[in-house]
A and B are shown apart, each in its own frame.
Chain A
């Protein structure tokens, strides 16, 4: 399956979309390419800062968008950092051309993936979706609880610095909450999920913070087992998001629609790596870091490498 002229042991990847997310992802891949070779950054805006940065780093660029990617058959994996609307169009074209799409938009044309939870199941899919930043941050922890004790209800509150919420999020805030809530159920394992998102305009900007509440089915919880499972998961996420910081889990009892129930509260802060975007943009960092991680695991899978650490 190695293309002629390919860099042996590497899979060629391209980034579609040269905005903030695409550019931050470019820096992450260049800093730690693993088994990927960044062959192309494709945008549509010739004035884009992302494209000129890519060019100055010696990366091939194009303003032809998806067409440039389709024109190069050696590109196997495509990170789509455009918009949901654009990705719905791109998804079919990429599938037809036999390319793997890693979708950073909320379009959700393929299954949801959260790298430390379920990526292994979807490595043969032609298209995977990264849900939302709030989902990438919180779903691993809901899963960490639900693998110890069944979760009746999971609720997350994501607070993001205003300057770090782009127009896509702002104009589609309902979709952010729906998609994240669904991810809490489908991937996190909660019977019912709810997501809230808050924007904070403080100066200097606040780091992304998330609160995760899990209400278990049972009235008793093995607190030590939950704490240990959650810490193990946080360690797992820190391997690709170093600024993923969790306070000790708080166990509490509260009034709920299911009676007085234990409530497991997890307080999480996400500081970005500052590859391109500022460190307070932990919300964007966790998307690009997850995307890089997903890309690396797909690349290893294509190369027939198993069980390697990205």
Chain B
């Protein structure tokens, strides 16, 4: 096993838990703490990526471009990354983010739709960015199918392709098999992004490392969508104990989690009833707060909505299906 590169996404995946209300001051404090603790890549964007500020996903309180600029000005060593989901964000958004100091772009598609990312990879490489592919909801397809999609991203110029467990639905053997398959088929790096909906974020990350992952993601205090992600400070401590510390200051990360991030968290993400249902039903982690809201509005159990979305094979970004499903459930209930 090798020491992986860590990308911290407290300021992107964590944006879901904060309903995209991050301020410049918060971004500055988190980036400073991560940078000083030796985290090499820090992702800062609306939770749904560049251009995600919308009715569909929730509007950003502060423009993500301003947050990216703040992060880029603050970081001494770390590179600032942003998520870009084609269909939501565009090359225009990417260009604007690069003007604010962006160095790494993570281009995400549903794990069957890599071919919509070609124009974005092309532009990223043209602009000299590091370009990482993100195959979302990767639990929905077997390893061989993911390999095909990852090869497409590699052919478009990706420097790394991630297996992304957006639903937190994978078991350790699922994470292992997928990362292993990509690792064997690709010439570029392979990454893994975990969610903790089944309580397996750190365990799955270790399985991914066992399978040869070069890059993995974390969030301070696990602050992310659903039950959150693998906590960066926990990963640092575990990797250190395994003799695989990639240069992270474990105590500084503990302090960052404890004193910088914990006080700004609206709640501690854990695999509680609804977040656990997301992992169990295999739906997109960001549906959590939207489903809770719709359930409250229509007097439903959020689990009914989430399980129905799983049955309908909802994919990343389909938050609008939540209202649709809630209306259908209400109508079914009213039927004699």
A and B bound? Answer: yes
Q: Which residues of A contact B (CB under 8 A)?
A: 153, 155, 157, 159, 162, 167, 170-174, 177-178, 194, 196-203, 206, 209, 211, 213, 215, 247, 250, 254-257, 263, 265, 267
Q: Is the CB of A196 within 8 A of B317?
A: yes
CB-defined A-B contacts under 8 Å, sample of 15: A153-B55, A159-B320, A159-B321, A171-B119, A173-B86, A174-B119, A196-B317, A198-B318, A200-B315, A201-B315, A202-B312, A202-B313, A209-B324, A213-B56, A263-B55
Q: Is the CB of B90 within 8 A of A178?
A: yes
- Measured CB to CB, the closest approach of chain B to A162, in angstroms, equals 6
CB-CB nearest 6 A-B residue pairs: A202-B313, A211-B320, A213-B55, A201-B112, A174-B90, A197-B87
Given contacts A170-B116, A201-B110, A209-B324, contact A155 B55 (CB under 8 A): yes
B184 at the binding interface (Cβ < 8 Å): no
Complex: A174 Cα to B123 Cα, angstroms = 12
Q: Which of B54, B119, B321 is within 8 Å of A172, CB to CB?
A: B119
- Measured CB to CB, the closest approach of chain A to B153, in angstroms, equals 14
Residues in B with CB closer than 8 Å to A209 are 321, 324
B91 at the binding interface (Cβ < 8 Å): yes
Q: Is the CB of B116 within 8 A of A173?
A: yes
Residues in B with CB closer than 8 Å to A171 are 115-116, 118-119
B289 at the binding interface (Cβ < 8 Å): no
Residue of A nearest to B111 (CB): A201
B residues 300-327 near A (Cβ < 8 Å) are: 312-318, 320-321, 323-324, 327
B92 at the binding interface (Cβ < 8 Å): yes
Q: Which of A159, A162, A167, A256 is within 8 Å of B55, CB to CB?
A: A256
Residues in B with CB closer than 8 Å to A263 are 55
Residues in A with CB closer than 8 Å to B112 are 162, 199, 201
Complex: A159 Cα to B324 Cα, angstroms = 13
Q: Is the CB of B87 within 8 A of A196?
A: yes
Q: Is the CB of A157 within 8 A of B324?
A: no
Residues in B with CB closer than 8 Å to A211 are 56, 320, 323-324
B280 at the binding interface (Cβ < 8 Å): no
Known interface pairs A199-B110, A199-B112, A267-B320; 12 further A-B residue pairs with C-beta atoms within 8 A, sorted by A's residue number: A162-B112, A170-B113, A174-B90, A197-B87, A199-B87, A199-B113, A201-B112, A201-B315, A206-B313, A211-B323, A250-B327, A257-B53
Q: Which of B58, B87, B324 is within 8 Å of A177, CB to CB?
A: B87
- Measured CB to CB, the closest approach of chain B to A266, in angstroms, equals 10
- Measured CB to CB, the closest approach of chain B to A221, in angstroms, equals 15
B88 at the binding interface (Cβ < 8 Å): yes
- Measured CB to CB, the closest approach of chain B to A92, in angstroms, equals 26
- Measured CB to CB, the closest approach of chain A to B322, in angstroms, equals 10
Q: Is the CB of B54 within 8 A of A194?
A: yes
Complex: A155 Cα to B86 Cα, angstroms = 16
- Measured CB to CB, the closest approach of chain A to B85, in angstroms, equals 9
Q: Is the CB of B56 within 8 A of A170?
A: no
Q: Is the CB of B116 within 8 A of A199?
A: yes
By CB atoms of chain B within 10 A, which of A174, A177, A213 has the most? A174
- Measured CB to CB, the closest approach of chain A to B156, in angstroms, equals 11
Q: Is the CB of A196 within 8 A of B56?
A: yes
- Measured CB to CB, the closest approach of chain A to B134, in angstroms, equals 15
Residue of A nearest to B141 (CB): A201
Residues in B with CB closer than 8 Å to A199 are 87, 110, 112-113, 116, 315
Residues in B with CB closer than 8 Å to A267 are 320, 323-324, 327
By CB atoms of chain A within 10 A, which of B53, B55, B315 has the most? B55
Residue of A nearest to B90 (CB): A174
- Measured CB to CB, the closest approach of chain B to A258, in angstroms, equals 10
Q: Is the CB of A159 within 8 A of B318?
A: yes
Residue of B nearest to A255 (CB): B59
